Amino acid sequence: MKRLLSPTLGFLAAIIWPVSTALAELLPALTAKPPASLQAAGIPRRLLAVDNVCAWPNVVRLKDGTFVAIVFNQPNHAHTEGDVDCWGSPDGRFWTRLSTVTQHAPQTVRMNHAAGLNANGDLVVLTNGWDKINPRRNPASRTIQTVVSISRDGGKSWEQAGFAMPAVAGLSWHVPFGDIQLAANGDLIAGTYAFTFAPTARGHREGNVYAARSRDGGRTWTHFAPVVKDEHCEGAILHLGGGRWLNAARRFSRLDLDVFASDDDAMTWKHVGVLDVKPVSSAHLLKLSDGRVLLTYGNRTGGNRGIDVRASGDAGKTWGSPQRLIELDTGDCGYPDAFELPGGRIMVAYYADGIPQHQRYHMGVINLTLDEVR
């Protein structure tokens, strides 16, 4: 579910752990020039990686250390027919299109996706989408069932492994989102959500977020543990290690982030608290090498738009002040995905519908160092 705009208020679940929710002052933005260590390696502060795509990027690091980005391949919000493509890069500086992952049927679009590696190192992509694209997505359009695509050669070719994930009674099909990760017991975990197509009697859309589980390397998905059943979608999921997990999900009515935690390998979940960052695009969670958790998100506040981060030193219980990575002059932005590379370089991919110097949809990349994260 992309670019949610509902303005109404909703129910706030009881807080289990204390979370800092005050509107903290935005820390100064990164300098335009990267630190000397990045400059010496030829790494720019920011770059335009993939042009003329809305992207909603999901970046995966392969076992050989190279990267692939799974991106929606049309320059719009899934209004027209399209698929997700796979782009590759040795180090995040230069990107080459490797393949088209999905094969959409006529009058459909494949675009909502999750991606990651299974235990064998195979690249697994789950992709959902919409029907009745005739010629554009319209109020009669509904979600279509998720398909599984698996690549054993780093995204160059794909096995279409068929349909996966059921519909949820009274809601949509399960929609995949974010990073697919290994559980402590070796299962694969993917974040999903299901939602109503219109506001309910509560005055806003309703939605559930789940931790979906596969026990056969991503081919089938048989267990769906509820993270929250309320008004949520697009839950960014993170395995902290040892069966401890976090999930930061967006709420329909407030467009903020609600944080949840699991201590039993994503089987059951508790509410942690609310991060009052709104209106926000979906978020991404990354465990850094120094033990902190990095939350990355698109800030869509009028007059204060950009890609921001917050860091937590206590596994998501409390969060530091927001820090601006880059400023943007458009609200059609966000959906970041962050990675830490050896040597302390952090790479953040995001999308925007344009910047003053390049007025087209694109996937951009921001580079910073671990010691620049406040």
36-372 topology per CATH = Neuraminidase (2.120.10)
In whole angstroms, what is the distance from residue 198 CA to residue 173 CA? 15
Which tens digits make up the pLDDT trace of 65-99? 999 999 999 999 999 999 999 999 999 999 999 99
Domain boundaries, the chain: 36-372
pLDDT value of residue 161: 96
pLDDT value of residue 29: 84
Q: What is the mean pLDDT of the chain?
A: 92
CA 192 to chain CA centroid, nearest Å: 11
pLDDT value of residue 2: 58
In whole angstroms, what is the distance from residue 69 CA to residue 150 CA? 14
In whole angstroms, what is the distance from residue 284 CA to residue 263 CA? 20
Q: What is the DSSP letter of 35?
A: P
Percentage of the chain lying above the pLDDT 90 cut: 88
pTM for this predicted structure: 0.93
